[in-house]
Amino acid sequence: MTSTDPAGYGDGTACVHAGLPEPVPGTPFLPGPVLAAPYHLDPENGPAAAANGYGRVDNPTWRGLEAAIGGLEGGECVVFSSGMAAISAALLTLVGPGDTVVLPSDGYYKTRAFAASLPGVTVREVPTAGPYPSFDGVRLVLLETPANPGLDVCDIAELSAAAHAAGALVAVDSTTATPLGQQPLRLGADLVVASGTKALTGHSDVLLGYTVAGPELTARLRTWRDDTGAVPGPFEAWLAHRSLSTLDLRLARQSANAAALARMLAGRPEVSSVRWPGLPGDPAHEVASRQMRRIPGVVAFTLPDAAHVGRFLSASKLVYAATSFGGTHTTADRRAQWGDPVPEGMVRLSCGIEDTDDLLLDLDAALNAARAATAG
CATH number at residue 139: 3.40.640.10
**Whether residue 210 is found in the same domain as residue 341:** no
Specify the number of domains making up the chain: 2
Q: Which residue type occupies 327?
A: G
**Contact (Cβ atoms closer than 8 angstroms) between residue 276 and residue 257:** no
pLDDT of the residue at 8: 81
Residue at which a domain ends, from 244, 278, 297: 244
**Whether residue 192 is found in the same domain as residue 263:** no
Q: Is residue 86 part of a domain?
A: yes
Query: What pairing do the DSSP bridges indicate for beta strands 273-275 and 298-302?
Result: antiparallel
Query: What pairing do the DSSP bridges indicate for beta strands 100-104 and 346-350?
Result: unpaired
Q: Is residue 7 part of a domain?
A: no
Please report the beta strands in 137-221, taking only residues with DSSP state E, as ranges in sequence order. 140-144, 169-173, 191-195, 209-213
Residue at which a domain ends, from 185, 216, 244: 244
**Whether residue 311 is found in the same domain as residue 220:** no
Rounded CA-CA distance 351/296 in Å is 9
**Whether residue 226 is found in the same domain as residue 367:** no
Residue at which a domain ends, from 212, 244, 276: 244
DSSP 145: S
pLDDT of the residue at 6: 60
- Could you list the mean pLDDT of each consecutive 10-residue stretch along the chain, which spans 376 residues? 61 95 93 92 88 90 97 97 98 98 96 97 98 97 98 98 98 98 98 98 97 98 96 96 98 98 97 98 97 97 98 98 97 96 97 98 98 86
Rounded CA-CA distance 332/366 in Å is 13
**Whether residue 256 is found in the same domain as residue 235:** no
pLDDT of the residue at 129: 97
**Whether residue 123 is found in the same domain as residue 269:** no
Residue 178, sorted as left (phi over 0), alpha (psi -120 to 50) or beta, turns out to be left
**Whether residue 49 is found in the same domain as residue 173:** yes
Q: Is residue 217 part of a domain?
A: yes
Nearest to 83 by CA among 187, 242, 180, 192: 192
**Contact (Cβ atoms closer than 8 angstroms) between residue 88 and residue 226:** no
**Whether residue 161 is found in the same domain as residue 264:** no
- Can you say how many angstroms the Cα of residue 100 is from the centroid of all Cα atoms in its chain? 24
What does each C-alpha distance from 144 to 135, 173, 318, 331 come to in angstroms?
17, 5, 29, 21
**Whether residue 126 is found in the same domain as residue 139:** yes
DSSP 33: P
Residue range(s) defining the domain that contains residue 296: 247-375
**Whether residue 117 is found in the same domain as residue 258:** no
CATH number reported for the structural domain that contains residue 335 in this entry: 3.90.1150.10
**Contact (Cβ atoms closer than 8 angstroms) between residue 271 and residue 312:** no
What does each C-alpha distance from 14 to 18, 69, 248, 251, 316 come to in angstroms?
6, 10, 9, 14, 36
Question: Three-state DSSP class for 97?
Answer: coil
Q: Is residue 5 part of a domain?
A: no
Cα end-to-end distance, the chain, whole Å? 65
**Contact (Cβ atoms closer than 8 angstroms) between residue 8 and residue 65:** no
pLDDT of the residue at 310: 98
Q: Is residue 12 part of a domain?
A: no
**Contact (Cβ atoms closer than 8 angstroms) between residue 2 and residue 19:** yes
Question: Three-state DSSP class for 323?
Answer: coil
Residue 270 has a CB neighbour count (10 Å cut-off) of: 17
**Whether residue 64 is found in the same domain as residue 75:** yes
